[in-house]
């Protein structure tokens, strides 16, 4: 039973891990899609900025209206392009001076303090912040004042990293945040965000997590509060060693930043390092590059410094991956080349075998054709000779019966009978052969020198020389067999063969060419 429960616990643990990993992977896919649409969100941001600029160009604007529009443009640029934000806040400051309004001047200086902090100009930001008289600030500007202090010391703490100054900066950051909470309305989402940060500082992580999750449910994804809440929640999960949840909420924060074109961001670079540790080097490299581009675009010096600590590590891993992939590609190319070579060799061998098979089939077809023709002629000759023997038998029988023994003896001693049969045999052979190879004489003459070509007598089908090579064409090249077949001596056959070869255009390949005459293609 204990073993059963142990197996069940392990099973559900694996299921939870798989679900968590599936959650972060699906968010990463969504982040990739949003990154692919970044130009659209940039265009929307620039359209909002352009509409404010067009309003600013109206000649009928009062100074107060000009102040509002310049300040609005500075706010649009603050997390987008810090240099442009400072330009419009400078214009606002000039207008505030013209209006002789100390509250408006202080309001703009607080905005400039924020931009200086984002730009990494901490000394200038500190001087500007401490140049503002807290005692004379109207209550409406106190949240901005304390938020600027919280922001400045947060940047300094991150910039100092693990140095001895970091603890003091964190203390000052917490002090400004606590002061900020005293002047913010609890109904505002900013209040809940900063209260969650205070819970984290006081190690009340459960309260902080609940509050941040609530903000994610309440706030739209295109809200800066949403992005910051997701970023803070991600770091809570990081402290709890929940890497997948850490990555998931960093991805959600990055999605929010991209949709509102916030270039001063930390989520994407943090996520890049998480993915690097997970082994997803390609995606990590793509994210860290995009983070660097955003930091440079916004002129956010702290983010550039933070990225510079991580970029070399990820870039080196990415180059190693590319090199491994290159080696794998080379290996696969070699394997494919070898297989291709084997395939080519196989195709060539198959082609050669097919040619041999085709040639064999042609030879078999030709042989079958010759066999069929000659079987017909053979049967016909047998029938003729049976009839001749029967007539000869009748003649002998008649001579013996008539007592004409002397005439019968003369008849059998005479060579005339054999000569006539020999001529008839040659005529039958010539007819049968030329029926198979009607162009034999013409093609045979093509192999001879022009002046040596055979000219047959009237009524002559083949002469002796042509008949010898006709037998060779049928596949009988043994001179003794040819001699027996034609009733000549072997020497006579040799003499005829050599004599004709000497007349050939190509003596060495003459008999090979003979075998090709009338071949079936």
- Residue 107 tokens read as 């309001």
Structure tokens at 338: 């070898």
Whether 349 has a pLDDT exceeding 60, the answer reads: yes
What's the pLDDT score for residue 169? Answer: 94
DSSP string, 134-182: GGGS-GGGHHHHHHHHHHHHHHHHHHHTTSTTHHHHHHHHHHHHHHHHH
Task: Identify the band that residue 11 occupies on the pLDDT scale cut at 50, 70 and 90.
Answer: very low
Burial of 87 (0-12, 13-18, 19+ CB in 10 A): middle
pLDDT at 373 over 50: yes
Is it the case that residue 6 has pLDDT exceeding 60?
A: no
Residues of the chain with pLDDT > 90, as a percent, come to 55
The C-alpha atoms of residue 208 and residue 289 are separated, in whole angstroms, by 32
- Of 98-107, 302-311, 331-340, 357-366, the range with the highest mean pLDDT is 98-107
- How would residue 86 be classed by pLDDT, with cut points 50, 70 and 90? very high
pLDDT of residue 432: 84
For residue 311, how many other CB atoms are within 10 A of its CB? Answer: 19
- Tokens encoding 285: 């490299």
Give tens-digit pLDDT for 264-323: 999 999 999 999 999 999 999 999 999 999 999 999 988 898 898 899 999 999 999 999
User: Higher confidence at residue 20 or residue 417?
Assistant: 417
For the cut 60, the answer to whether the pLDDT of residue 16 exceeds it is: no
Structure tokens at 63: 């100074």
- Nearest CA to 396 out of 382, 381, 410 is that of 410
CB-count exposure of residue 425 (10 Å: 0-12, 13-18, 19+): middle
* Mean predicted confidence (pLDDT) in 161-175: 89
> Is pLDDT larger for residue 78 or for residue 424?
78
Instruction: Identify whether the C-beta of residue 157 lies closer than 8 Å to the C-beta of residue 176.
Output: no
**Residue 240 vs residue 13, higher pLDDT:** 240
Question: What pLDDT is recorded for position 10?
Answer: 46
Burial class (CB in 10 A: 0-12, 13-18, 19+), 261: buried
CA pair distance 338, 110, nearest whole angstrom: 71
Q: What angle do CA 268, 197, 125 make, to 5 degrees?
A: 70
Residue that wins the pLDDT comparison between 65 and 371: 65
Half-sphere exposure of 410 (CA within 13 A, CB side): 5
Instruction: Tell me which of 253 and 386 has the higher pLDDT.
Output: 253
pLDDT bracket for residue 14 (50, 70, 90): very low
User: Do the Cβ atoms of 222 and 259 come closer than 8 Å?
Assistant: yes
Q: In this structure, are residues 242 and 253 in contact, taking their beta carbons and an 8 Å threshold?
A: no
- Residue 363: predicted pLDDT: 59
Among residues 121, 111, 110, the alpha carbon closest in space to that of 159 is found at: 121
- Residue 143 CB neighbour total at 10 angstroms: 21
The answer to whether residue 230 scores a pLDDT higher than 90 is yes
pLDDT at 248: 96
pLDDT at 120 over 60: yes
pLDDT at 4: 46
Of the candidates 171, 85, 164, the one whose C-alpha atom is nearest the C-alpha of residue 121 is 85
Separation of alpha carbons 406 and 414, rounded Å: 12
The average pLDDT across 493-515 equals 89
Residue 389 predicted with pLDDT over 70? no
Give me the pLDDT at residue 360, please. 64
Q: d(Cα 515, Cα 154) in Å, to the nearest integer?
A: 101
User: Which of residues 114 and 382 earns the better pLDDT score?
Assistant: 114
Cβ pair 428, 462 in contact under 8 A: no
* Full-model pTM: 0.65
Q: Mean pLDDT of all residues in the chain?
A: 87
* Of 29, 53, 81, 45, the residue nearest 298 (C-alpha): 81
Name, in order, each residue with C-beta under 8 angstroms of 259's C-beta and a sequence gap of 6 or more. Answer: 34, 41, 221, 222
pLDDT single digits (tens) 422-470: 788 888 888 888 888 888 888 888 989 989 898 888 888 888 888 898 8
Q: What is the residue-wise DSSP string for 317-329?
A: HHHHHHHHHHHHH
DSSP 297-359: HHT-HHHHHHHHHHHHHHHHHHHHHHHHHHHHHHHHHHHHHHHHHHHHHHHHHHHHHHHHHHH
Handedness of CA 138, 141, 142, 143 (dihedral sign): positive
Q: Look up residue 98 and give its two tokens.
A: 């013209």
Residue closest to 111 by CA, chosen among 130, 139, 90: 90
Residue 99 has pLDDT above 80, yes or no: yes
pLDDT given at position 18: 41
Q: Which of left, alpha, beta for 403 (phi over 0: left; psi -120 to 50: alpha)?
A: left
What is the predicted pLDDT for the residue at 414? 54
Res. 366: pLDDT tops 80: no
- Residue that wins the pLDDT comparison between 420 and 414: 420
Burial of 315 from C-beta contacts in 10 A (0-12 / 13-18 / 19+): middle
Q: Which residues have C-beta within 8 Å of that of residue 435, sequence separation ≥ 6?
A: 373
Q: How far apart are CA 454 and CA 33, in angstroms?
A: 89
* Predicted local distance difference test score (pLDDT) of residue 12: 38
Pick from 102, 109, 52: nearest CA to 76: 52
**Alpha carbons 266 and 418: distance in angstroms, whole number:** 119
pLDDT digits (tens, 9 = 90+) for 54-65: 999 998 999 999
pLDDT exceeds cutoff 90 at 398? no
Say whether pLDDT at 9 is over 50: no
Res. 21: pLDDT tops 60? no
CA dist., res. 73 & res. 218, Å (int): 27
Place of tokens 């913010």: 184
């Amino acid at each position: 039973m204990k073993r059963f429960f142990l197996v069940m616990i392990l099973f559900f643990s694996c299921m939870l891990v798989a679900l968590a990993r599936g959650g972060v992977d699906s968010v990463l896919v969504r982040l990739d899609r949003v990154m692919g649409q970044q130009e659209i969100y940039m265009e929307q941001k620039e359209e909002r900025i352009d509409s404010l600029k067009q309003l600013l160009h109206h000649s009928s604007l009062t100074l107060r209206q000009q102040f509002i529009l310049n300040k609005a443009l500075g706010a649009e640029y603050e997390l987008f392009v810090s240099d442009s934000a400072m330009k419009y806040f400078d214009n606002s400051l000039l207008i505030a001076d013209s209006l002789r309004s100390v509250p408006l001047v202080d309001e703009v200086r607080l905005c400039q303090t924020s931009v200086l902090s984002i730009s990494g100009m901490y000394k200038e930001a500190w001087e500007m912040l401490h140049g503002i008289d807290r005692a004379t600030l109207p209550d409406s500007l106190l949240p901005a004042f304390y938020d600027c202090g919280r922001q400045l010391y947060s940047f300094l703490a991150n910039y100092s990293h693990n140095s001895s100054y970091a603890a003091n900066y964190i203390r000052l950051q917490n002090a400004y945040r606590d002061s900020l909470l005293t002047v913010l309305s609890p109904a505002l989402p900013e209040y809940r965000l900063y209260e969650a940060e205070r819970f984290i500082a006081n190690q009340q992580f459960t309260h902080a997590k609940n509050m941040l999750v609530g903000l994610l449910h309440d706030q739209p994804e295109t809200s800066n509060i949403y992005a910051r809440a997701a970023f803070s929640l991600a770091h809570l999960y990081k402290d709890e060693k929940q890497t997948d949840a850490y990555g998931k909420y960093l991805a959600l924060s990055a999605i929010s930043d991209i949709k509102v074109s916030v270039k001063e961001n930390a989520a994407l670079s943090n996520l890049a390092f998480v993915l690097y540790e997970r082994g997803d080097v390609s995606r990590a490299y793509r994210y860290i590059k995009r983070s660097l581009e955003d930091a440079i675009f916004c002129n956010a010096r702290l983010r550039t410094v933070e990225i510079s600590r991580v970029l070399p590590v990820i870039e080196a891993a990415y180059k190693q991956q590319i090199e491994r992939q290159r080696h794998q590609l080379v290996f696969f190319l070699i394997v494919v080349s070898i297989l291709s070579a084997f395939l080519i060799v196989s195709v060539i061998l198959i082609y050669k075998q097919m040619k041999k098979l085709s040639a064999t089939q042609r030879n078999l077809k030709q042989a079958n054709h010759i066999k069929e023709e000659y079987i017909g002629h053979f049967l016909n000759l047998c029938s003729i000779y049976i009839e001749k023997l029967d007539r000869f038998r009748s003649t002998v029988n008649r001579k013996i019966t008539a007592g004409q023994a002397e005439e019968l003896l003369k008849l059998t001693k005479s060579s005339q009978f054999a000569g006539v049969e020999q001529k008839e045999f040659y005529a039958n052979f010539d007819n049968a052969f030329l029926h198979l190879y009607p162009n034999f004489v013409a093609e045979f003459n093509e192999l001879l020198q022009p002046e040596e070509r055979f000219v047959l007598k009237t009524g002559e089908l083949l002469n002796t020389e042509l008949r010898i090579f006709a037998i060779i064409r049928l596949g009988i090249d043994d001179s003794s067999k040819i001699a027996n077949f034609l009733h000549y001596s072997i020497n006579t056959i040799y003499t005829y063969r050599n004599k004709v070869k000497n007349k050939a255009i190509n003596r060495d390949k003459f008999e090979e060419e003979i075998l090709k005459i009338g071949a079936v293609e």
